[in-house]
Amino acid sequence: MIIEFLEAQFLILTALMIVYLVRHYVFTIAVLNNTYKGKKAGVRRKATYEPIVSILIPARNEEQVIGRMLQRMTELTYSKNKMQIIVIDDASMDNTGKIVEEYAKNHGYIKVIHRVPKEWGKVKASALNAGLKYAKGDIIICFDADYYPQVDIIEKLVTEFVDPKVGGVQGRVTVLNEPQNIVTRLVALERVGGYRIDQQARDTLGLIPQLGGTAVAIRRKLLESLDGWDESILAEDTDLTFRVCLAGYKIRYVNDAECYEEAVENWRAYWKQRCRWAKGHMQCAFKHSLKVLNSNNLLLKEKIDGLLLLNVYFMPILVWISWIISVLLFFSGLPQWFNALLTSTPIFFYSFVGNFAPFFEVGIGAYLDGRTRACWLIPLLILTFLYNIVICTKAFTDLLISKIFGKRIITWDKTIHSGSGNSYIMK
């Protein structure tokens, strides 16, 4: 009886792996097909649209990078009389506030909001909501303090809002400090697969491109109707993605609207960042899965991909569970069908390196970007996948414990930025 139960579980897990495997193949082929037809990724702009925009930049203890970001804000080519920049100094204990104040004195379109410790919401969403109260623009655009956008990124993002059905727009994130070490290089590869292929494919196929925490634009009235960002969710960006779509709006992805990030520099920082992402994404899965399934505003294909996107951080956990089951079945005496499945295990293993960027997506993405040398590092993504198995398991365990004992897990365990990306910016 136990053997039959294990066999059934193994079959279910294998089927689920195949679904994700096929999904990634479809995404890759869709982007390749679009490219071979001569369509440049992310370029659809025909009409000129110049709404008033409010740019929100939440910052807590970001003295190493906030000056770089604000200097870039002054260099943006978008009309300054149609641009409002709101920096939320979220109870910083370093010189962040002083640096921002200096820029605000010299540039009238930069506004600073200083939050005292008792106002600090301990999550990024709290800081964003504080800034939203002062926003006057038709379009809200968010950047993290460590990012460095293209000078014309605003024009590229806002043009998509010519379509009244578009509620949110996401730009592409690439790694600024990629050459620094092996960790930053692997993060860069994950970003290539996640944006150049995954996000672009969702846009091309009419699915649900994911709004990120930076280089993202959304209609202010829509955001206000949704009561801003949910401060009970760690992944406020993923949560907003599905609230926008469930409200009947579309999200677009613009591949050539690039914004460069300062990636985590060591495995400890990678752990803290990805653990936060995993917890937040799992929260969104619990919150939105049934809503997506029952929504009247989503097409069937959007529902299917939406559910796969929501539950992607559970996959590393399910993969190691399938390995345990396969070992137990192996020593119990293998049935004929299991021999065939066992031979395919290496394929599933190698196809799940990284949460959002299986190796073929990374490889094709790097190829389309003309970065063939970077492909030599793709096998090392197995390390990040094994690491993510532990990370996602820990995240899920923390969520269960918090649910059982009523312990609050929501806190802005922010990534520490050293400013290493400064040396990679052309002066």
Strand 250-261 and strand 148-149: pairing? antiparallel
Helix axes 381-405, 267-294, angle to 10 degrees: 60
Q: pLDDT by residue for the chain (427 residues), tens digit each?
A: 787 888 788 888 888 888 888 888 899 999 998 887 766 555 555 557 899 999 999 998 898 999 999 999 999 999 999 999 999 998 888 899 899 999 999 999 999 999 887 766 567 899 999 999 999 999 999 999 989 999 999 999 999 999 999 999 999 999 988 988 999 999 999 999 889 999 999 999 999 999 998 999 999 999 999 999 999 899 999 999 999 999 999 999 999 999 999 889 999 999 999 999 999 999 999 999 999 999 999 999 999 999 999 999 998 898 888 888 877 877 776 666 666 666 566 556 545 554 445 677 888 888 888 888 888 888 888 888 889 999 999 999 999 888 887 766 656 566 666 666 666 665 4
- Distance in angstroms (rounded) separating the CA atoms of residues 211 and 42: 15
Q: State the pTM of this model.
A: 0.89
Under DSSP, the state recorded for 163 is S
Q: Are 154 and 84 in contact (CB under 8 A)?
A: no
CB count, 10 Å around CB of 386?
Answer: 14
SS3 367: helix
Q: Quick one: CATH architecture of 53-306?
A: Alpha-Beta Complex (3.90)
- Distance in angstroms (rounded) separating the CA atoms of residues 227 and 222: 9
Q: Are 311 and 288 in contact (CB under 8 A)?
A: no
Cβ neighbors of 22 (< 8 A, separation 6 or more) are none
Question: How many whole angstroms from its chain centre is CA 188?
Answer: 13
Element holding 421 (H helix, E strand): none
The H helix count followed by the E strand count for the chain is 16, 8
Element holding 76 (H helix, E strand): none
CB count, 10 Å around CB of 23?
Answer: 19
Half-sphere exposure of 238 (CA within 13 A, CB side): 25
